[in-house]
Structure 1
Amino acid sequence: MASKFHALMYPWFASGHITPFLHLANKLGEKGHRVTFLLPKKALKQFEHLNLYPHHIVFRTVTVPHVDGLPLGVETASDIPISSTNLLASAMDLTRPQVEDVVRALEPDLIFFDFAHWIPEVAREFGAKSVDYLLLSAAAVATLIVPGGCEFGVAPPGYPSSKVLLHQKDVYSMKPVANSTEDFAALQERFTASITKCDVILIKACKELEGEFCNYVERKFEKKILFTGPMLPQADTTIPLEAQWSNWLGGFESGSVVFCAFGSQTIMEKDQFQELCLGMELTGLPFLVAVKPPRGTSTIQEALPEGFEERVNGRGVVWGGWVQQPLILSHPSVGCFVSHCGQGSMWESLVSDCQIVLVPQIAEQVINARFMSEELEVSVEVAREETGWFSKESLRDAIESVMNRDSELGNRVRKNHTKWRKTITSPGLMNGYVDDLIESFKDLIVHETNHD
């Protein structure tokens, strides 16, 4: 077999999926392997700048068919509430003939996918190997994906830690994902079919951090499991932080600003959004909040609490658009990151110097937050009421607990965060994982060739 392989990538139509697939594509491209990257037409402009090896990585677009229930023109998850995930997944399923045409024409050796559970069938038909790339922490895979799963608050035999389990009070975290139990069942079925049919499972996890969970997952799946390690993006030093934010942040003391962002899919209820704003105000610290307008509103301004803008003028900004999150986190004035603890944000927070406060929104994020706060002890999770909502006071208290220089808790999480950041950014760790992955992929392809 030739020493270089050709991989096709077809991630779920969401920023939090396309971006890490591209990080992996760049690692393969850096080593001289070819990647054909499929994504919706509208997403191309948003992501093509992340291609660091255009000689090796080529984008191809798919046309996303319309599905009843979705607004016309929807192509990515950022255009819809998370409860419409199943409808967009149905639209993705309808792209199968386009994908088959690409595979027939290009004859890739490997096909990477996540939501498109039919990819293993396509791969088999055209002599490729399928890789199910799970963009979940090993803890989340162990809790939500492993056959048999976990009941609320009950660890199955061999499960590594009771600290990260979902509890009955976390039932709120299930609601945003689906409108009904049928929706849940459909999503679960999709994951199960993907895992069952694929040739190999790839998990975005790092054994140095999640060793016991990685071992548990390996024992539970009767299939080869690969781990990416800390698949961190290469910093593009040619793109600076937008002047609007570098100028604003530049007006504050080092480590004093609280930055809050909840990802591209979180749409809050208006009352909870206002509680978030008021909690930020109560800290007395400068803050930048970047979240989508809450449900039922079209702009951030119309949803702000009465008199809020006047009271925080000069020290607080609430922004409804996209921001350069990694660049903001690396700005010297930013000292705290209030996050929903999605997978991408989890890793970005770990490699930052910021204190970490977590407000998870859905089940996978709750598990990530427990892992960060209870297992690694690098962050603080905001306390919630039985309804699943948080109060402005609980948000303020969590931020103050890590930002207060005399706080025992703040010093403990800072110390642990520094230790784990050094581990995952240590020279050679990420490249070691990438080299091992490439060898595993080559073995997979060679085995197929020999088998034929």
Structure 2
Amino acid sequence: MEVIKGKKAHVLAVPFPAQGHVKPLMKLSRQIAKRGIKVTFVNIESIHEKIVASAKMAGEEEEEDNIILTSIPDGRNPEDDPNDTFKLLESLRITMPGLLTGLIERINSSNDQEKISCVIADISIGWVLETAREVGAEPVVFSPPSAAALAVIFQIPKLLEEGNLDSYGTVKNGEVISLSENIPAWRKNELSWSFPSNLKTQKIFFECSQRIEKTTNQYTWLLSNTCYELEPSACNLIPNLLPIGPLLENQNPNSSFNSCNFHPQDTSCLSWLNSKPAGSVIYVSFGSLAVFSQQQLDELAFGLELSGRAFLWVVRPDLANGNGSRAVFPEGYLDRVGEVGKIVEWALQEKVLSHSSIACFLSHCGWNSTTEGLSRGVPFLCWPYFSDQHHNQNYICDKWEIGLRIDPDENGIRTRHEIKEKIDGVFFDSKLKKNALKLKEMCEKSVGEGGSSYKNFEKFIDHLRK
């Protein structure tokens, strides 16, 4: 008698098209795939092409067990500005539902035993949840930022009703918004949608946040890249939240799976780090979006030089504006810093942060970088750029006490002397490192077998298999 095998779970993962959103969802997808569940990971074509090209240049494998990378068009016209995020978002809202429906139908018709049973969508593209329902798949939300960043978004209706925010999302009464004494308050211009230099842009960000809040009744699972022990008060404010983080890369140091980076990684920095003493190197990286003026880039360069300490600095070609395609360093700078400074266009960040020579992380405080640093027990020097990064800085410096702020002057410039002073401060303050190691241990316990994030993830996997 022929044995008919039962149907298998098959997850479709759909990230928001930005580096800080694609990577954590890929980390989650890998964890799901490791449990024997197939994942189809869908990027828009322009992002997919970047990832494939970067993987090829790095000699990474494009295929891995139970994960399929695929893409859909982004719906924009050829004449549209490729850097206009708002135009892209509007285009995706119009075209993505139909394109995803077509993709899912093709997948389902190709294998009756592996139909899409679950769609995990980034919280920023909540309209995908309705598409999931229409094709008979379970809608699940994935939230890449901190639980606190999400908690304040869910409080928007109440904050508007009580008159704390105006229609642009600007704080009206007083200078802070506080949700709990255990969550750092948001000062004016520190909310994730704040964009004080351009209120029109802020209005768009605020309206996007309001749409996120309206998705709360459209799902039963909200997976979050945090752990309960890190943000208990914030986690308690969010309905249906399932903290499953911090999500980290494959711990196998020899792994060559596609890292989903938009930029080719420079592996030479690892051998360079091997030549440095333990706890001696400043790691400097501002993520994939931050942009500096040439004046600010110069001040940072001089500040690192003045510190007299070894540094590994990630400088994307587009880090400084107004200089065409590449950042320009002060005259003679590269010759002067010599072997003391290593400059690369992109780094294997988690491997760098795990290296014994790293003393501190000078960071923009994006949530991915924040969790990667604290999971390695590395103190921070904080230099937020925009969005939730300002509140992450408050967590780092005020709540967890594992870092120092690098403050701007009255002209908004972080000077070379301020940079040097804070570098000295993080090297001399042993309490920062001590606290960082405690957080590392906390995160390890949470994601380790029997920990809260581990149990939450296993609960979700068990649900997928039913």
For 2:378 and 2:241, the matched residues in 1 are separated by 32
Output the amino acid matched with 1:159.
Answer: S
Pick closer, same or farther for the CA change 1:62–1:290 going to 2, 3 Å.
same
Match of residue 17, structure 1, among 17, 21, 25: 21
User: Partners in 2 of 1:216 and 1:183 — Cα distance?
Assistant: 25
1:313 alignment partner in structure 2: 338
Equivalent residue, structure 1, for 2:212? 191
Contact 2:141 2:221 in 1 (8 A): yes
- Match of 1:338, SS state, is strand
Structure 2 equivalent of residue 257 of structure 1: 281
1:60 corresponding residue in structure 2: 70
Q: Which residue in 2 is equivalent to 1:436?
A: 456
- Answer yes or no: is 1:42 the counterpart of 2:58: no
Paired residue secondary structure (2:284): strand
Whole-angstrom CA distance in 2 between matches of 1:68 and 1:161:
48
Query: Equivalent residue for 2:150?
Result: 141
Say whether 1:155 aligns with 2:177.
Answer: yes
Q: Which of 5, 12, 16 pairs up with 1:8?
A: 12
Which residue of 1 is the match for residue 249 of structure 2?
233
Deviation at 1:205, TM superposition (A): 1.5
Residue identity matched to 2:371: W
1:332-359 Cα deviation digits (max 9, x unpaired): 3221210111111111111224332111
CA drift of 1:69 comes to 7.0
Change over 3 Å in CA distance of 1:137–1:51 after alignment to 2: farther
**Structure 1 counterpart of 2:99:** 98
Which residue matches 2:223?
202
Q: Which residue of 2 aligns with 1:213?
A: 234
Contact 1:155–1:162 (CA<8 Å) still a contact in 2? no
Normalised TM-score (structure 1): 0.83
Q: Deviation per CA, 1:234-280: give whole Å up to 9, x if none.
A: 22322599563234334433221211001111122222222221221
Range that drifts further, 159-168 or 3-12: 159-168
The 2-side partners of 1:439 and 1:172 are apart by 33
Could you tell me how far apart the structure 2 residues matched to 1:242 and 1:322 are? 6
Is the CA contact (8 Å cut-off) linking 1:341 and 1:365 kept in structure 2?
A: yes
Q: Which runs of 5+ in 1 are unaligned?
A: 75-79, 219-223, 405-409, 447-452
Aligned counterparts of 2:190 and 2:366: Cα–Cα separation in 1: 20
Following TM superposition, by how much is the alpha carbon of 1:50 offset from its aligned partner in structure 2, in angstroms? 8.1
Q: Residue 11 of structure 2 contacts residue 119 of structure 2 at CA under 8 Å; is this kept in 1?
A: yes
User: Which of 309, 322, 329 is the aligned partner of 1:296?
Assistant: 322
For residues 215 and 353 of structure 1, do their structure 2 counterparts lie closer, same or farther at Cα, with a shift above 3 Å needed? closer
CA shift in 2, pair 1:232/1:268, >3 Å: same
Aligned-residue identity in percent = 23
Compared CA separation, residues 298 and 113, structure 1 to 2 (3 A):
same
Partner of 1:397: 421
Q: How does 1:378-393 map to 2 (within 5 A)?
A: 378-385=402-409, 388-393=412-417
Corresponding residue to 1:367 among 362, 382, 391: 391
1:166 aligns with 2:194: no
Preserved contact between residue 5 and residue 34 of structure 1 (Cα < 8 Å): yes
**Partners of 1:63 and 1:171 in 2: CA distance:** 28
Query: In the superposition, relative to structure 1, how do residues 42 and 365 fare at CA in structure 2: closer, same or farther (>3 Å)?
Result: same
CA distance in 2, matches of 1:34, 1:247: 36
- Name stretches of at least 5 consecutive residues in structure 2 with no aligned partner: 109-114, 166-170, 257-264
Is residue 2:295 matched to residue 1:276?
Answer: no
Equivalent of 1:266 in 261, 275, 290: 290
Quick check: 1:129–1:199 contact (8 Å CA) kept in 2?
no
Contact 2:147 2:235 in 1 (8 A): yes
User: Is contact 1:142-1:213 (8 Å) kept?
Assistant: yes
1:112 to 91, 109, 120: 120
Secondary structure of the equivalent of 1:414?
helix
Paired amino acid for 2:312: L
Higher helix fraction (1 or 2) = 1
Deviations 1:132-154 (A, max 9, x none): 21111012222344333575443
Distance change (3 Å), C-alpha of 1:311 and 1:164: farther
Q: Secondary structure at the match of 1:59?
A: strand
SS of equivalent to 1:295:
coil
Deviation, 1:123, is 1.4
Separation of aligned partners in 2, 1:16 and 1:262 = 12
Q: Which residue of 2 is the match for residue 330 of structure 1?
A: 354
